Amino acid sequence: MSESQTHATELTAQYLAQVTGDLESNAKEQERIAADVEALQEQLRALQHDHTVLVNMQQALGGALPATEADTPAVPAVPHQASATPRQRKPKKAAAGTKKTAPKKTAAKASPVAATTAAKPTLVDLIRGHLEQQSEPRSAAEVAAALTQAHPDRSIKTTVVRTTLENLVAKSRAHRTKQGSSVFYTTTAAAQPAAKDAAAEPQQETVAG
- What is the mean pLDDT of the segment spanning 58-81? 55
pLDDT for position 154: 84
User: To the nearest whole percent, how much of the chain has pLDDT over 70?
Assistant: 62
- CB neighbour class for 20 (10 Å; exposed up to 12, middle 13-18, buried from 19): exposed
186 strand-pairing partners? 175
Specify the CATH number for 121-209; select among 3.40.50.150, 1.25.40.390, 3.40.50.11540, 1.10.10.10.
1.10.10.10
With contact defined as beta carbons under 8 Å apart, do 157 and 38 qualify?
yes
Q: CA-to-CA distance for 164 and 120, rounded, in angstroms?
A: 18
Q: Residue 187: what are its φ and ψ, rounded to 5°?
A: -80, 155
Which pLDDT tens digit goes with each residue over 115-163? 444 567 888 888 888 888 888 898 989 999 999 888 888 888 889 988 9
pLDDT for position 87: 56
Query: CA separation (Å) from 195 to 141, 147, 175, 186, 189?
Result: 26, 28, 12, 13, 10
Q: Residue 182: what are its φ and ψ, rounded to 5°?
A: -100, 145
Q: What torsion, rounded to 10 degrees, do the Cα atoms 120, 122, 128, 133 define?
A: 20
Which pLDDT tens digit goes with each residue over 79-119? 444 444 455 555 555 444 445 555 555 444 545 544 444 56
